[in-house]
Amino acid sequence: MLVPEHIETLESYQPGKSIESLHQESGLTEIYKLGSNENPLGPSPKAVEAIQKNLNQIFRYPDTKALELRQALARKFQVKLENCIVGNGSEGIMSAIMGTFLHDKDEVLTSSCTFTGFFVLTQARGVKLNTVPLKNYRFDLEGIAAAITPNTKIIFLCNPNNPTGTIFTKKEFESFIKKVPEGTLIILDEAYAEFALENPNFPDSMSYRLDNCITLRTFSKLYGLAGMRVGYGFAHEDLIKYILKVKLPFEPGVLSQTAALAALEDQKFIKETLQVVQEGKKFLILSFQNLGLQVLPSEANFVTLILKNEEEVNRFYERLLKKGIITRPLKNFGLKEGLRITIGKQEENFKCAEALQEISKA
Ligand SMILES: Cc1ncc(COP(=O)(O)O)c(C=O)c1O
């Protein structure tokens, strides 16, 4: 055996279908990709401009400290530079966190039906994973607190949760953190936080100062830079110091750092994105409800349908694909009856609602 059993049996991350693969399979040229929670408006124009200006810098290694980007983040979120980390996507930072803190008998704890990337990283470390079922399609923080064992080293919380789009509330979070021992780390994955901040019940982790909590956010969603792979995180400086020992030194790349820095200041694009997502969400939810479909309340840039069973999910998914619309069946996330649809531009949402109307009538 070349590899340990936990690697032999590891199922790697399953991404959503790409435009290229659907084009090759079907010959379709008009394709709407609503399967990967990307920004419907494309990239931040300021980021594109910055990348173009800096193309001739790619012969250089990136700044290992990512000083300018971290300074900008520290200013924006009013924390010290030492509290701030950037990496190859928030998933890259998550990977470094797992590599830094987990060993031997450590266990990790989270909900079922959450971000699958975390499950892959956990199994790759060969540590024990404990999960608590969702309650009403939401993280059950009481259940998670009750499932903490003396070996629980990391608790993973995702708010808003991917793939349900639901949130746990301030009240639930504040009661939860009192029950978490000091030596247990909380990873608070807030990849979709910006879409939820207007909700007064959303616990913005940046308004708490918790010594055992690491906030993770990303440039992949709101800022439209999924392909550049830039994520960022905030935590107590001691935690950041340890994670930096493990994180690859030259991530994110030169152009990724430049793009993120510019996108952070692109207020016009940020505003437009939030508006398109909020309007699109209202439209899609109403359209789906009018068709008699069950749709979960979403605080993210996607909506999730709960269908009768896995067969119905597959039928909807395949029929939508035939019409050039890529969505995401949620079996891999542990939600067999779920189909996730990323909020697109107005015409994409319209096409999707129209297609679902035809399919659900058939
Ligand atoms: C909840 C959640 N966390 C993390 C990620 C990974 O984001 P990044 O592109 O920053 O690695 C995603 C991507 O879809 C996500 O949904």
Domains defined along the chain, listed by start: 5-43+268-361 (3.90.1150.10), 45-264 (3.40.640.10)
Which one, of 155, 161, 234, lies nearest residue 191 by Cα?
Answer: 161
Ligand 1 — pocket residues by CB below 6 A? 37, 89-91, 115, 117, 158, 162, 189, 191, 218, 220, 226, 231
**Packing angle, helices 267-290 and 346-361, rounded to 10:** 20
How far apart, in whole angstroms, are the C-alpha atoms of residue 148 and residue 310? 32
- Smallest CA separation from ligand 1 atom 12, residue: 191
Q: Distance from the CA of 359 to the center of ligand 1, in angstroms? A: 30
**Residue 157, helix vs strand vs coil:** strand
Note the pLDDT of residue 218: 98
Buried b / exposed e over 54-88, threshold 16 CB at 10 Å, is beeeeeeebeeebeebbebbbeeeebeeebbbbbb
Please give the pLDDT value at position 77.
97
Cis check for the bond before 160: say yes or no (omega within 30 of 0): yes
Could you read off the pLDDT of 101-137 as tens digits, one per residue? 999 899 999 999 999 999 999 999 999 999 999 999 9
Residue 185 has a pLDDT of: 98
Q: How far apart are CA 62 and CA 85, in angstroms?
A: 15
Its pTM stands at 0.96
**For residue 238, what pLDDT is reported?**
98
Nearest to 74 by CA among 187, 232, 196, 308: 232
At 267-289, the pLDDT tens digits run 999 999 999 999 999 999 999 99
How confident is the model at residue 94, as a pLDDT?
Answer: 98
What's the CA-to-centroid distance between 219 and ligand 1, angstroms?
9
- Range 10-33 burial, b when 16+ CB lie within 10 A, else e: beeeeebbeeeebeeeeebeebbb
Residue with tokens 């509330």: 169
Closest ligand 1 atom number to CA of residue 231? 10
- Whether 19 contacts 326, CB under 8 Å: yes
Q: What is the largest CA-CA distance in the chain?
A: 58
Q: Which two tokens stand for residue 142?
A: 């009481």
State residue 209's pLDDT score. 86
Residues 6+ away with beta carbon under 8 Å from 224: 38, 39, 41, 42, 43, 44, 47, 263, 269, 273
Quick: pLDDT tens for 147-164.
999 999 999 999 999 999
- Residue whose CB lies within 8 A of the most ligand 1 atoms, among 91, 164, 343, for a mutation test: 91
Ordered mean pLDDT values, 10 residues apiece, the chain (362 residues) = 90 90 94 97 98 98 97 98 98 98 96 96 95 98 98 98 98 98 97 97 95 98 98 98 97 98 98 98 97 97 98 96 96 96 97 95 78
Distance CA 36, CA 344 (A): 11
The whole-number pLDDT of residue 12 equals: 86
Going from the Cα of 158 to the center of ligand 1, the distance in angstroms, rounded, reads: 10
How many helices and strands (H and E) does the chain possess? 13, 13
Query: By three-state DSSP, how is residue 355 classified?
Result: helix
Token match 């913005």: residue?
204
pLDDT score recorded for residue 361: 80
Contact 66, 85 (CB under 8 A): no
Full DSSP string of 209-244: --TTEEEEEESSSTTS-GGG--EEEE--HHHHHHHH
Taking the centre of ligand 1 as the mean of its atom positions, its distance from the CA of residue 92, in whole angstroms, is: 9
What is the per-residue pLDDT for 360?
86
